[in-house]
Amino acid sequence: MEAGAPREDRQEVSSDALAAFYNRSFGEVYRYLFRAVLGNKALAEDLTQETFASIVIAITAGRAELQSMPWVIGVARHKLIDHYRRSAGEQRRMALVWTGLGTADVECTDLDDEDPARVVELLRELSPIHRLVLVLRYLDELTVEEVAASIDRSVHATESLLVRARRSLMRSHKEMAS
């Protein structure tokens, strides 16, 4: 069979059948994910939508497990696992940022013993541009010049931005400690 040729064994699923299945199964998938993320409504909604997006992709690719709730819950479980893996990876990356801050800045040395989960929380509180420059500088280990080029700013403006980002991070840390 040629690449791109239609599959002979492909089962067509009408949009009405897909909508009916979605209406029947949405509640069960959402409840499963809501419990799995300990009541985080926004996260459960996001994961539910990711689940159904994957189901639609699978169905349009010719996999018609549409009527199988165990398969659908399995897809939801995989989305949940993927979320936690991404979260764990993000925490590891943020811990690296934190460690980089502690070694790069005299004013940040009291952060070395901080819990990585706490580091992620503090970094999330920063403005997006502050978080971005800290990640580029300390996680990706870009030079200030490379960070400046990445965000389309001058080196001097980027140096100032990095100083403000570190100060903001330290301020958040001190406020949480008190």
Examine the domain organization and report whether 63 and 113 are in the same domain: no
**Tokens representing residue 101 in the block:** 């801050």
pTM strictly above 0.75: no
Torsion of CA 68, 74, 76, 82, to 10 degrees: -150
Model confidence pLDDT, tens digit, residues 11-27: 566 788 788 888 999 99
Examine the domain organization and report whether 91 and 162 are in the same domain: yes
pLDDT in tens, the chain (178 residues): 444 444 444 456 678 878 888 899 999 999 999 988 888 899 999 999 999 999 888 888 877 665 688 889 999 999 988 887 777 666 666 666 656 555 454 345 455 566 666 777 787 788 888 888 887 887 767 899 999 998 989 999 999 999 999 888 888 878 877 7
Residue 72 lies in a domain: no
Residue 27 lies in a domain: yes
**Euclidean distance between CA atoms 153 and 134, whole angstroms:** 15
Q: Are 73 and 32 in contact (CB under 8 A)?
A: yes
Q: How many domains does the chain have?
A: 2
Q: Are 154 and 148 in contact (CB under 8 A)?
A: yes
- Is residue 75 helix, strand or coil? helix
Which CATH number is 127's domain given?
A: 1.10.10.10
- Is residue 61 helix, strand or coil? coil
Residue 3 lies in a domain: no
Query: Domain containing 135: what range?
Result: 87-177
